[in-house]
Protein backbone atom coordinates (compact mmCIF):
# COMPACT_ATOMS: atom_id res chain seq x y z
CA UNK A 1 0.00 0.00 0.00
CA UNK A 2 1.23 3.50 -0.78
CA UNK A 3 2.13 5.82 2.07
CA UNK A 4 -1.01 7.46 3.44
CA UNK A 5 -1.33 11.21 3.33
CA UNK A 6 -3.53 11.26 6.44
CA UNK A 7 -2.18 10.71 9.95
CA UNK A 8 -4.86 10.76 12.65
CA UNK A 9 -4.05 12.61 15.87
CA UNK A 10 -5.10 12.01 19.46
CA UNK A 11 -7.37 9.03 20.05
CA UNK A 12 -8.56 8.98 16.44
CA UNK A 13 -8.34 5.95 14.17
CA UNK A 14 -8.41 5.89 10.35
CA UNK A 15 -10.57 3.04 9.03
CA UNK A 16 -11.58 1.83 5.60
CA UNK A 17 -15.08 0.41 5.28
CA UNK A 18 -15.28 -3.17 4.13
CA UNK A 19 -17.48 -3.48 1.07
CA UNK A 20 -20.76 -5.25 1.66
CA UNK A 21 -21.92 -7.80 -0.83
CA UNK A 22 -24.53 -6.39 -3.21
CA UNK A 23 -27.91 -6.77 -1.58
CA UNK A 24 -30.64 -8.44 -3.57
CA UNK A 25 -34.04 -8.86 -1.98
CA UNK A 26 -36.78 -10.61 -3.87
CA UNK A 27 -34.92 -10.13 -7.15
CA UNK A 28 -34.59 -6.34 -6.63
CA UNK A 29 -31.11 -4.83 -6.47
CA UNK A 30 -30.97 -2.14 -3.80
CA UNK A 31 -29.33 1.05 -5.17
CA UNK A 32 -26.22 2.45 -3.44
CA UNK A 33 -28.12 5.54 -2.28
CA UNK A 34 -30.58 3.40 -0.30
CA UNK A 35 -27.96 1.19 1.36
CA UNK A 36 -26.90 1.84 4.91
CA UNK A 37 -23.32 2.78 5.62
CA UNK A 38 -21.40 -0.43 6.42
CA UNK A 39 -20.37 -0.83 10.02
CA UNK A 40 -17.50 -3.23 9.40
CA UNK A 41 -14.14 -1.61 8.73
CA UNK A 42 -10.42 -2.28 8.74
CA UNK A 43 -8.04 -0.20 10.85
CA UNK A 44 -5.59 1.56 8.52
CA UNK A 45 -3.76 3.97 10.88
CA UNK A 46 -3.73 4.95 14.55
CA UNK A 47 -3.48 8.44 15.99
CA UNK A 48 -0.88 9.76 18.37
CA UNK A 49 -2.77 8.45 21.39
CA UNK A 50 -4.90 9.70 24.24
CA UNK A 51 -3.44 10.92 27.51
CA UNK A 52 -4.90 10.17 30.91
CA UNK A 53 -5.28 12.67 33.76
CA UNK A 54 -1.63 12.19 34.75
CA UNK A 55 -0.41 12.91 31.22
CA UNK A 56 0.53 9.28 30.53
CA UNK A 57 -0.17 7.89 27.06
CA UNK A 58 -3.00 5.34 27.00
CA UNK A 59 -2.40 2.45 24.60
CA UNK A 60 -4.91 1.80 21.82
CA UNK A 61 -7.04 -1.34 22.19
CA UNK A 62 -6.98 -1.89 18.41
CA UNK A 63 -4.07 -2.26 16.00
CA UNK A 64 -3.54 -1.67 12.30
CA UNK A 65 -5.14 -4.48 10.29
CA UNK A 66 -7.87 -5.26 12.86
CA UNK A 67 -11.39 -5.75 11.50
CA UNK A 68 -13.74 -3.69 13.66
CA UNK A 69 -17.37 -2.69 14.07
CA UNK A 70 -17.85 1.06 14.18
CA UNK A 71 -20.74 3.22 15.27
CA UNK A 72 -23.16 3.73 12.37
CA UNK A 73 -23.15 7.53 12.60
CA UNK A 74 -19.70 8.07 14.11
CA UNK A 75 -16.69 9.62 12.48
CA UNK A 76 -15.87 11.88 9.58
CA UNK A 77 -15.68 10.52 6.06
CA UNK A 78 -12.73 11.53 3.87
CA UNK A 79 -11.88 10.58 0.31
CA UNK A 80 -8.27 10.06 -0.74
CA UNK A 81 -7.24 8.80 -4.19
CA UNK A 82 -10.86 7.74 -4.87
CA UNK A 83 -10.97 5.57 -1.73
CA UNK A 84 -13.37 6.43 1.10
CA UNK A 85 -12.00 6.36 4.64
CA UNK A 86 -13.53 7.37 7.96
CA UNK A 87 -11.73 8.95 10.89
CA UNK A 88 -13.36 7.83 14.16
CA UNK A 89 -12.53 8.22 17.81
CA UNK A 90 -11.50 4.99 19.47
CA UNK A 91 -14.70 5.31 21.54
CA UNK A 92 -16.73 4.95 18.30
CA UNK A 93 -15.25 1.48 17.77
CA UNK A 94 -17.75 -0.98 19.19
CA UNK A 95 -15.62 -4.10 18.98
CA UNK A 96 -13.02 -6.14 17.15
CA UNK A 97 -14.29 -8.83 14.78
CA UNK A 98 -12.50 -11.96 15.69
Q: Pick the residue with more confidence: 41 or 18?
A: 41
In a domain, 76, yes or no: yes
Of the chain, the end-to-end C-alpha distance in Å amounts to 23
In a domain, 34, yes or no: yes
For 36, the domain range is 12-96
5 located within any domain:
no
25, pLDDT greater than 70: no
Within-domain flag for 1? no
Q: Is residue 2 one of the residues assigned to a domain?
A: no
DSSP the chain: -PPPS----TTEEEEEEPPPPPPEETTEEPPGGGSPPP-EEEEEEE-S-EE-TTSPEEPPSS-TT-EEEE-TT-SEEEEETTEEEEEEEGGGEEEE--
pTM score, whole prediction: 0.76
Kindly report, residue by residue over 9-22, the tens digit of the pLDDT.
999 999 998 876 55
Count how many domains the chain has: 1
CATH of the domain at 57: 2.30.33.40
Question: Which backbone phi and psi does 44 adopt, to 5 degrees?
Answer: -100, -40
Percent of the chain with pLDDT over 70: 77
Amino acid sequence: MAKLKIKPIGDRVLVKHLEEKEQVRGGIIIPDAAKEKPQEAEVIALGTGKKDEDGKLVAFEVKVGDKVLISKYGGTEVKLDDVKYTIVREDDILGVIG
